[in-house]
Structure 1
Amino acid sequence: MASKSILVVEDEPDIRELLRFTLHRAQFHVRSAADSEEAIRILEGPLPSVAIIDWMLPGMSGIELAKRIRSDQVTKELPIIILTARSGEADKLQGFNLGIDDYITKPFSPRELVARVRALLRRSGNLEDGNINLNGILLDTVAHSVSVEGNPLHLRPTEYRLLETMMRHPNRAFQRSQLLDQVWGRNVYIDERTVDVHVLRLRNALKPYDKHKVIKTVRGIGYRLDHQTANA
């Protein structure tokens, strides 16, 4: 199975370690935070595949953190599981109204936890086998390799991350600032036109296979990977 990245936000050390151990044993890569502020710092870098957030966190609560994630253009599509001792319908409705994807009630079964994470990955299109296949372009997120119609495509790390970001969200128009945040991280301050340079390099790498046209320039916004016109 692919080594997907999971963010765990839990203030109780024993539960945090249990979550880390359970997910690591299931071949997930785990990053953990003890509070919302630490989680926000982690989210300034490359995004995880799923966030598991405890409802009752010190300072900013887990629900408030989830609300902040949903209100941010970069993180708003991040799948979220809330971990909580609350099992009331009203509490769950509050979370679902904020866009929470799933709940796990404490005490939880490690097997159920892993099953729910995998189910959420499937629902979100974040495939467990690590492969994203669009327009004849196959991206293997485990091996960090790309092939075009069976032919290996050698990309630099930045172009690889750029392609992965757009392939995970086909037909979505990305602003240059959003691509900077996703590919380079929010704590890196570089000119937005740097994105143009790397998009050009990516297009040039795809051009021998006539796949460069799938990356569209969206005037006044940025770029989009067009899934419908692969051979246009």
Structure 2
Amino acid sequence: MEQSVVSVDVVALRFWSDDPGLTLGVAARAHPPFEGELALPGVLLARGERLALAARRAVHTKLGVPEAAIGAVGQLVTFDEPARDPRGPTLSIAMWAVVGPHEPNATRWVSFDEVPPLAFDHTRIVGAARGHLSRLLWKDLPFTRALTGEEFPATRAVELSTALHGARPDPANLNRTLATIPGLERTAERRRTKATGRPAAVWAFAEV
């Protein structure tokens, strides 16, 4: 029986303070198959390599992101379609990573609603990842904190929820959700944001 290999494909997320919304990174493939086509950053898992390290390697080598700018990393879902790779059976483990500010490069950053056609089954991976990530938001602290930073105005929380759920949340319900997150508190500060132009409440994680 022909044995499969394992690839690690990463949904690398960007949500910098000056960004208008949440985006994910794609880049043109440098080698066959699908040379020149856009794809998620991915690598074959090396013998003895941990998934998180492989995900970081993929983001660094395929998107050109400095290793120091790659924040939290986590696992999403596995794709086992035997024909997903024309080179032969390949098991894909989809991961997420949050990327911090760094110098611009050739990486293309796109929203979940504007993802172009991608090589392999990467379009399907992005679609599945969005659902998983929407369930992690506000529940998985490492993921949430990596995206929001240690403090953020309420309008940024709205932008995050909208990007991952595909619909704008009810502000009152979102505030109630934020109030249940361990270590997250609503401060007395209000900050004007580009999104609305009006001062918004600021939430902050307590120091650990």
Q: TM-score, normalised by structure 2?
A: 0.37
By percentage of residues, which structure has more helix? 1
